[in-house]
A = this chain, B = another copy of it.
């Protein structure tokens, strides 16, 4: 758990990060907006926002921190939390907890490991988690949206139906994965139903402030800071943080842990959430991506955050 003792001037920190990162963003040639989902390809890449929500209730922000964006794979974190909330440890009977090595291997690994995905943060694993939600909730997407609203204390957030449809139409890889998992008996609902919900999850829109607030309960041992509601027990919350560190940023998790040293989860919409255990929830957003699928400017911003604050977990 990170130090809670001394007071940190986060606003000053965010301003310094913003100054440093702005030229990188505005150059326009660092990274590329995700193009495989037509609707996402239209997003203006020259945007940057960042927010920190401390456990004592303060919100610090900079840039476009209130602009909603497509959370994409960050939804995998919330879907997992909701599934853990509902199913507890039995989740791990259907999905593993190990880094996946490389995207190249995902289907081989599924074959070798009999349809049990490596972890809940790769697409295969998130499809199984979505299937769990589909077995418990009439509408998994409604359940997840409501869960996110509660976590972010924002009743207006929702998924963007246009983005969801755009993603659904180009979902052949995910459909391949889902059918493959189903052939092993590890998908209980229909592939179409699971894909529909999965694409809606990815299309949820939240701002940096929403997301920093939404993940702060993980920095607070599973308890929502402002309401005191215990959503996950202490041990589960810590363990999900560990999982974010080892598996949260696609195939760059090792490098990300090495450079940033905070549990994090990224999405191809350009958002990255991170937690400073015992201290704060963090979110950064900038749409242009590194080759690994993580936000280019976002990664730099988080690396600066831990360097300047000394607040990595190591």
Q: Which chain A residues have a beta carbon within 8 Å of chain B's beta carbons?
A: 1-5, 96-102, 104-105, 107-109, 111-112, 118-119, 172-173, 175-180, 182-183, 191, 235, 238-239, 241-243, 245-247, 251-255, 257-259, 261, 263, 277, 307, 310-314
Contact = CB atoms under 8 A, between A and B. Distances in A.
Given A107-B111, A176-B179, A314-B277, A243 B254 contact: yes
A interface: dominant SS:
helix
A110 B254 CA distance: 17
A112 to B, nearest CB: 7
A302 to B, nearest CB: 13
Given A98-B102, A242-B312, 7 more contacts: A97-B255, A98-B252, A98-B253, A102-B112, A176-B180, A239-B261, A243-B258
Nearest to A247: B254
A180 B172 CA distance: 6
List the 4 shortest-distance A-B pairs measured between CB atoms, nearest first: A101-B101, A99-B99, A172-B183, A98-B254
A102 B191 CA distance: 27
Nearest to A175: B179
Contacts of A258: 97, 239, 242-243, 246
Contacts of A277: 313-314
Contacts of A175: 175-176, 179, 191
A69 to B, nearest CB: 25
A310 B235 CA distance: 10
Contacts of A173: 179-180, 183
Say how many copies of this protein the assembly contains: 4
A312 B5 CA distance: 18
A201 B229 CA distance: 51
A253 to B, nearest CB: 6
Nearest to A237: B314
B246 A253 contact: yes
A241 B108 contact: no
Contact of A108 (B3, B97, B107, B177): B107
B108 A263 contact: no
A173 B180 CA distance: 5
B104 A102 contact: no
Contact of A99 (B183, B191, B253): B253
A263 B105 contact: no
Contacts of A179: 172-173, 175-176, 179
Nearest to A108: B108
